[in-house]
C-alpha cells in the first residue's frame, strides 16, 4: 500500500443510525415491518446492537480507534412517542450520549431522520401528509431546543432518494407502496421538511450562514461553533451497461431522476421535473451548508426496461455490490461541478464483508481516492465510515455486517476487526504511513 496523507484539518470517524443499532423500540415503522416477517434472516431491529443500553461501552469503541467525528441518529419515535407528546427520558438519554462524546473530544453530527418514523406519524400518512413539514418542524424544534448546545452538525434527512424509492416505488421498505406519483410526492415533501428544518435550526442557533458564506469558508476543523446543516445524499455512479448510445442516454436519465433532481431540491429548493409535479418552491438560495455524500457502488444502466444491474466480472462485496473506489471520485466531482460552493463530507462509505477479507483494502482505496480529490482541489473535508459496528441492516437484518467492530448479536460482544485496526491507525496518522 502506497502511503498517503490527508490534511490535518480533515476529520475522520464513522456513522450509525438509531433504529439500526439501538434496539428496544416498538414504536417505529421498521419494528412493525420486521414483525411482519419482511427481513431476509427473520431478525428484528428490536434487538439490533443494543446500543441504547451500551452508550458508555460504544463510546470507547470510538476513542479506542482514534476517531474524531461521529455521525449518530436520533430516533423520532422515542423522542415524540405520541403526536405532540415528548419524552424527557429519551431526550435526556441523547443529552448524556452527546455530552459523553464531547467530553471525549469527539465531534457529533446528528441525523434527524434516518429511514424510520413514529407509528403515529405513519398513521397520518407519513411524508405524504400535506402537513408533514409542520410535524417534522415541531420535532426538530424540540430537538434543537434541548440538544442544540451540544450539536454543531446536523443531517436533516438521510438519503431522501433511497427512502422514497425503496418505500414508495419498489415497495421493499415500509410502507411497501409501488407508485411513482407517491414517490415524487414523498421526495418533494422531504425537501420541504429539510428546508423548514434548515431555516429553523439556523434561526434557533442564530448564526445562520448568510451571503453565501458556508462552513467551507472556515478552513480549519474547528468551526468555532458554527452550525452546519445538510443532507446525506446517496449517490450512485451510474454508467451505461453497454457502449450503445441508448444505454448511455439511459444512464444519464437514471442519474438525473435518482439523484440529480433530488440533490438540486435539497441544496437550492428548486423543484425540477418530475419533482415539480408535486408543487413548486423556487428558492434558489443555498439551503444546505455541506454536500453529504453516501457512496457505495457503481451501477450499469440498461435502456431496455430502464433498470440497473452490476457490471459483469467486477469485484463485489457480500451483497453483490461492485467495489469501485473510482466511483467515489466521480460522484464527488459531479457534486462539485453542480454545487461548487459546498464543502463535501463523505457521510457514509463502507462495505458488507462478513469474513473481513477485503474491507481493509476497501478503506484504503476509498480514502486514497479522497486524498487524490483533495490534491485536485476539491473541498472534501470529512469521512464517516459506515459503520462503527455491525448493525441491523435493512433487508438483510443481522446478516449484513458492515462494522469496523463485529457484533455477536446473541451476547452483544463487540470485537475489533483487522480492518478496524487498520482504520484506527489511519485515523491516528491521518493517512497511511510507509
Ligand atoms: C444507509 C444505511 C445502510 C447502508 C448499507 C446506506 O444507504 O444509509 O442505513 O445501512 O446504506 O446498506
Q: How far is the CA of 45 from the centre of ligand 1 (A)?
A: 14
Q: How far is the CA of 211 from the centre of ligand 1 (A)?
A: 34
| Mean pLDDT, residues 223-233 | 84
Assess whether the C-beta atom of 162 lies below 6 angstroms from ligand 1.
yes
Whether the pLDDT of residue 317 is over 60: the answer is yes
Q: Going by CA atoms, what residue is nearest to atom 5 of ligand 1?
A: 393
- For the chain, what percentages of helix, strand and coil (3-state, to nearest 5) are there? 40, 20, 40
DSSP label of 286: -
Q: How far is the CA of 167 from the centre of ligand 1 (A)?
A: 14
- Res 220: pLDDT: 36
Q: What is the mean pLDDT of the chain?
A: 95
Query: What does the CA dihedral 218, 346, 337, 271 come to, rounded to 10 degrees?
Result: -100
Interval 132-176: pLDDT, tens: 999 999 999 999 999 999 999 999 999 999 999 999 999 999 999
Cα separation, 344 vs 342, whole angstroms: 6
Whether the pLDDT of residue 24 is over 50: the answer is yes
Cα separation, 72 vs 19, whole angstroms: 10
Q: Which atom of ligand 1 is nearest to the CA of 234?
A: 7
> Which residues partner with 233 through β-bridges?
293
**Which pTM does this prediction carry?**
0.96
> Which residues partner with 293 through β-bridges?
233, 346
Assess whether the C-beta atom of 294 lies below 6 angstroms from ligand 1.
yes
Interval 171-216: pLDDT, tens: 999 999 999 999 999 999 999 999 999 999 999 998 544 444 455 4
| Mean pLDDT, residues 20-27 | 98
Q: How far is the CA of 203 from the centre of ligand 1 (A)?
A: 30
Whether the pLDDT of residue 87 is over 50: the answer is yes
The answer to whether 288 and 270 are in contact (CB under 8 A) is no
Interval 53-80: pLDDT, tens: 999 999 999 999 999 999 999 999 999 9
Cα separation, 113 vs 196, whole angstroms: 14
Q: How far is the CA of 16 from the centre of ligand 1 (A)?
A: 9
Assess whether the C-beta atom of 348 lies below 6 angstroms from ligand 1.
yes
Q: How far is the CA of 170 from the centre of ligand 1 (A)?
A: 16
State the maximum Cα–Cα separation within the chain, in Å, rounded to a whole number: 59
Among 73, 348, 387, say which to mutate for ligand 1: greatest number of ligand atoms within 8 Å of CB. 348
Assess whether the C-beta atom of 317 lies below 6 angstroms from ligand 1.
no
Assess whether the C-beta atom of 419 lies below 6 angstroms from ligand 1.
no
The answer to whether 334 and 327 are in contact (CB under 8 A) is no
Q: How far is the CA of 31 from the centre of ligand 1 (A)?
A: 17
Residue 131 DSSP SS3: coil
C-alpha cell at 80: 415524540
List domains and CATH numbers for the chain.
Answer: 4-432 (3.20.20.80)
- Res 210: pLDDT: 45
C-alpha cell at 309: 444491474
Assess whether the C-beta atom of 349 lies below 6 angstroms from ligand 1.
no
Amino acid at each position: 500500500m502506497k502511503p498517503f496523507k490527508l490534511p490535518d484539518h480533515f476529520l475522520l470517524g464513522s456513522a450509525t443510525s438509531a433504529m439500526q443499532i439501538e434496539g428496544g423500540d416498538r414504536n417505529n415503522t421498521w419494528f412493525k415491518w420486521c414483525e411482519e416477517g419482511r427481513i431476509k434472516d427473520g431478525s428484528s431491529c428490536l434487538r439490533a446492537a443494543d446500543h441504547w443500553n451500551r452508550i458508555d461501552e460504544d463510546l470507547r469503541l470510538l476513542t479506542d480507534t482514534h476517531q474524531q467525528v461521529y455521525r449518530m441518529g436520533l430516533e423520532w419515535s422515542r423522542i415524540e412517542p405520541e403526536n405532540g407528546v415528548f419524552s424527557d427520558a429519551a431526550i435526556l438519554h441523547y443529552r448524556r450520549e452527546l455530552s459523553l462524546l464531547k467530553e471525549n473530544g469527539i465531534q457529533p453530527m446528528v441525523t434527524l431522520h434516518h429511514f424510520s418514523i413514529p407509528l403515529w406519524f405513519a398513521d397520518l400518512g407519513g411524508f405524504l401528509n400535506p402537513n408533514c413539514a409542520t410535524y417534522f418542524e415541531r420535532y426538530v424544534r424540540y430537538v434543537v431546543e434541548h440538544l442544540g448546545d451540544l450539536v454543531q452538525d446536523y443531517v436533516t434527512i438521510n438519503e431522501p432518494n433511497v427512502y422514497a424509492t425503496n418505500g414508495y416505488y419498489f415497495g421493499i421498505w415500509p410502507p411497501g407502496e409501488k407508485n411513482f406519483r407517491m414517490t415524487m410526492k414523498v421526495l418533494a415533501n422531504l425537501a420541504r421538511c429539510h428546508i423548514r428544518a434548515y431555516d429553523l435550526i439556523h434561526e434557533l442557533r442564530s448564526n445562520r450562514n448568510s451571503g453565501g458564506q458556508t462552513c467551507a469558508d472556515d478552513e480549519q476543523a474547528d468551526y468555532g461553533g458554527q452550525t452546519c446543516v445538510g443532507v446525506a445524499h446517496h449517490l450512485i455512479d451510474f454508467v451505461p451497461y453497454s457502449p450503445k448510445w441508448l444505454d448511455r442516454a439511459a444512464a444519464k436519465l437514471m442519474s438525473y431522476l435518482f439523484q440529480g433532481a433530488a440533490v438540486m431540491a435539497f441544496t437550492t429548493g428548486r423543484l425540477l421535473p418530475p419533482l415539480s409535479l408535486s408543487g413548486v418552491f423556487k428558492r434558489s438560495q443555498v439551503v444546505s451548508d455541506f454536500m453529504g455524500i453516501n457512496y457505495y457502488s457503481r451501477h450499469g444502466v440498461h435502456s431496455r426496461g430502464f433498470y440497473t444491474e452490476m457490471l459483469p466480472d467486477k469485484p463485489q462485496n457480500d451483497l453483490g455490490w461492485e467495489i469501485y473506489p473510482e466511483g467515489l471520485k466521480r460522484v464527488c466531482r459531479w457534486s462539485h461541478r453542480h454545487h461548487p460552493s459546498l464543502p463535501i463530507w463523505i457521510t457514509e462509505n463502507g462495505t458488507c464483508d462478513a469474513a473481513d477479507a477485503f474491507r481493509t483494502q476497501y478503506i484504503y482505496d476509498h480514502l486514497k481516492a479522497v486524498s487524490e480529490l483533495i490534491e485536485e482541489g476539491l473541498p472534501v473535508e470529512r469521512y464517516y465510515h459506515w459503520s462503527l459496528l455491525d448493525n441491523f441492516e435493512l433487508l438483510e437484518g443481522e446478516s449484513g455486517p458492515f462494522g469496523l467492530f463485529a457484533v455477536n448479536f446473541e451476547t452483544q460482544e463487540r470485537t475489533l476487526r483487522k480492518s478496524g485496526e487498520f482504520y484506527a491507525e489511519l485515523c491516528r496518522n491521518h493517512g497511511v504511513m510507509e
